[in-house]
Structure 1
Amino acid sequence: MLVVEDTIGAPRQLTGQLLDTAVRYAEESHWEVLSGTWLEDEHGGSPRCSCAAPACPAPGAHPTRPDWATQASGSAVAVRHMWHKQPRSSILLPTGRTFDALDVPEVAGCLALARMERMDLPLGPVICTPGRRLVFFVLPGATAKVPDLLRRLGWPPSSLDLIVRGEGDYIPAPPTRMGNSGSVQWARQPTALNRWLPDAEELLSPLAYACGREAAAVRSR
């Protein structure tokens, strides 16, 4: 069973916590941070995204403007300014800068995570999303190398539900609340010990195996 860690990424959606957490990501983890959309609670109904799109694909957790990549900042002053403008904003972390991310289904991610720990592989932070995904932080550059690495391992990239998030993409960070599903949480929180991220190649074999196993299980149902 996955145990999420309730420290930096506690699931409480408090405006002060969002600001404080976003600042800590910038100051302590040295990540660039971006404020995103937020959820508007409806009386007697489901929360809706602040973008007001009726079929929003990521309610409460996407950028608010098309030039979002230029707005992200690692400056604590800039981050405070973002959340003072809108305290309920979600916390988004652009990928392809200080880290890339390997995004896999939760079942496969938990299986791979347990195997990685048994193998004593180096691990960076790991996020658990309400959409039942696990997101592993790795060194930048994963987008370019992962498809070839998967082929060498015998896995056609299109056969696996393994998404590489790199330049031009982003991930929601704890404690961002997403739709009706809950809040983003840490499966493995950022610490001084895991600041040095693994290369994607170090984690890809257990992740590919777990994703392949999950895909086979889905097909057999």
Structure 2
Amino acid sequence: MREILGRRRRLRFRRKRGPVQLEAALHCAAEWEWPVLPGVGLKATPGTSQASRKSQRAQQSHQSESSAGPAGSGGDRGRACACPDADCVVPGAHPFDPGILAASTDERMVRWWWANRPTAPIILATGGRAPCALSLPAVAGARALSELDRMGMRLGPVIATPTRWSLLVAPYTLERLGELLFVKDRVPSSLRFHSEGGYVVLPPSETGPGQVRWERAPLVGSAAPWLPDVEAVVDALVEASTSAPDGGSRLTY
């Protein structure tokens, strides 16, 4: 009987736990001074049962934990983006209302946003004094991290979704990025850049493709995560891309 009662207490405790997005958003905004805002989120599609949605989320969670990215790329078939666009290509994973310019580090604003929408994805507005990012398709991202580790490249936090992996880097301007890319003979075509005016989704958000997680989490207790310079990361990615034995690219997908 004691064991059963203990188990019931644990189950009650688990049921009381609410969404963790607020805590994560507050940490990013107040501790790290990263400007954030809530993403548009997801809505249930007609005819999809709650049990079916739970099963789909459980399957995606298992795939993201047991695979280096490519699995689970089919998205959450039971839910769609909450924005008016029926054909949204980034379901749940973008700002809508408020817009990206509303991103803030103000604790009161962050609390108000997530008090009204507790499960909203956390959107980081990149650029300015905030981190920027380079992103790759999940398969290429996993290969890139392996290559960069082999090369001894020091990386900062890395965000993983079932479809894309994002490497956070120190802030850079579009002008500097243009100069950096101009001198390169070749840059992986799968590489995307997230600078001023852009954004990335932060863990532990849930979007259409699935759960957002840290592939390389920030160090616990650090005042703010260390971020590498964009030039060093681009140079390493270009080298990793062109170092395949057959002359092809290791970062294809």
**Residue in structure 1 matching 2:231, options 190, 198, 201:** 201
- Paired residue type of 1:72: A
Among the aligned pairs, what percent are the same residue? 34
**Residue in structure 2 matching 1:41, options 31, 40, 44:** 44
- Paired residue type of 1:203: V
Q: Distance in 2 between matches of 1:117 and 1:213?
A: 14
For residue 16 of structure 1, report the CA deviation from its aligned partner: 2.3
Q: Does 1:175 align with 2:204?
A: yes
For residue 91 of structure 1, report the CA deviation from its aligned partner: 0.7
For residue 22 of structure 1, report the CA deviation from its aligned partner: 0.9
Q: Distance in 1 between matches of 2:113 and 2:141?
A: 33
Partner of 2:21: 18
For residue 93 of structure 1, report the CA deviation from its aligned partner: 0.3
**Residue in structure 2 matching 1:111, options 129, 139, 143:** 143
Q: Distance in 2 between matches of 1:114 and 1:22?
A: 29
TM-score of the pair, normalised by structure 2:
0.70
For residue 108 of structure 1, report the CA deviation from its aligned partner: 2.6
Q: Is the 8 A contact 1:109 1:207 kept in 2?
A: no
Partner of 1:190: 218
Partner secondary structure for residue 104 of structure 1: strand
Q: Distance in 1 between matches of 2:182 and 2:80?
A: 41
Structure 1 gaps of 5+ residues are: 1-13
Partner of 2:176: 145
Partner secondary structure for residue 20 of structure 2: helix
Partner secondary structure for residue 87 of structure 1: coil
Structure 2 gaps of 5+ residues are: 1-16, 49-76
Number of equivalenced pairs: 202
Structure 1 vs Structure 2 CA RMSD: 2.8
Q: Is the 8 A contact 1:93 1:170 kept in 2?
A: yes
For residue 48 of structure 1, report the CA deviation from its aligned partner: 1.6
Q: Is the 8 A contact 2:40 2:94 kept in 1?
A: yes
Q: Against the structure 1 CA distance between its residues 162 and 113, is the aligned structure 2 distance closer, same or farther, given a 3 Å change threshold?
A: same
C-alpha offsets along residues 177-207 of structure 1, whole Å, 9 cap, x if unaligned?
121x311111111222872311111111221
Q: Against the structure 1 CA distance between its residues 48 and 112, is the aligned structure 2 distance closer, same or farther, given a 3 Å change threshold?
A: closer
Give the structure with higher Rg (CA). 2
Partner of 1:86: 117
Partner secondary structure for residue 145 of structure 1: helix
For residue 106 of structure 1, report the CA deviation from its aligned partner: 2.4
For residue 62 of structure 1, report the CA deviation from its aligned partner: 1.0
